[in-house]
Amino acid sequence: MNTSTYYASIAIVEVHPDNTVTIESISVTEGECVLSGAWDFNLSENENISNVLSGKMIIPIGEKKKLEKLPIKGEIVILDSVPFLIDAKKAAKEALEAYESFKSENLTKRKKLVAPEFYNWPDSINFNASADYLESIGKMATPSGTPDSFKKTLSAARLVKHLVDMWQLDEQERNNRKYVEGEDAKITILPESWLEATSTNRS
């Protein structure tokens, strides 16, 4: 099996009107995506915020311009849902086309082949309304007792985790098919658009 192994760190960041910031971090490796930390800072805690966000890609909740208040050194890498969904839908479509082509080459021998199943990727997702999306697919947005200040941040983190989990399951489904070869058989932990936007390190 030809695989590409990476590590990526994503931070969900929400700057609040009271000059506090809530952060949820997500660690992604091949086959695993976990919520790895949660913080609540005052914007004056420059060093703490900088340390937490260092090396992370950022998904902002609320107004992006509020990120200007954050004491982040260097370039900020911001992720958006649109490229992720475009890549995910395209990869699923191409894998299904490869299956149909492979099957049609010898219908007699391959008529019992089982078609691959991929996640039903939505056309769009608004991370500011993560709770609504999670509830629409029967998933809990936030556990009871979650502080109000953390609810949007945590629900967005849980949605990102769900999307990454579904991407990785799709990748396994593609990789497990013998008609998927070459570059298409490589497993990536995130869609290429997000990987290319990052300073992801090979492990």
pLDDT for position 142 = 95
User: How many structural domains are present in the chain?
Assistant: 1
pLDDT reading at 38 higher than 90: yes
Element (H, E) at 126: none
3-state secondary structure of 6: strand
* Residue reference for tokens 């997000």: 194
* Within a domain: 80: yes
- Lowest average pLDDT, out of 9-13, 29-33, 157-161, 165-169, goes to 29-33
The pLDDT of residue 88: 95
Between residues 33 and 179, the one the model is more confident about: 33
Closest CA to 120 of 79, 157, 160, 170: 170
State which residues form the domain around 90.
6-202
Q: For residue 76, what are the contacts with CB-CB under 8 A and spacing of at least 6?
A: 58, 67
pLDDT digits (tens, 9 = 90+) for 56-102: 999 999 887 788 778 776 778 899 999 999 999 999 998 888 877 87
Whether residue 86 is contained in a domain is answered as yes
- The set of residues, in sequence order, having a beta carbon less than 8 Å from that of 172 and lying 6+ positions away, is 187
Residue 126, domain member (yes or no):
yes
Give the pTM: 0.87
Residue 1 placed within a domain:
no
Write out pLDDT tens, residues 116-174. 889 999 999 999 999 999 999 999 999 999 999 999 999 999 999 999 999 999 998 88
CATH code (residue 172): 3.30.420
How far apart are alpha carbons 22 and 38 in whole angstroms?
7
Question: Coil, strand, or helix at residue 21?
Answer: strand
DSSP annotation of 113: P
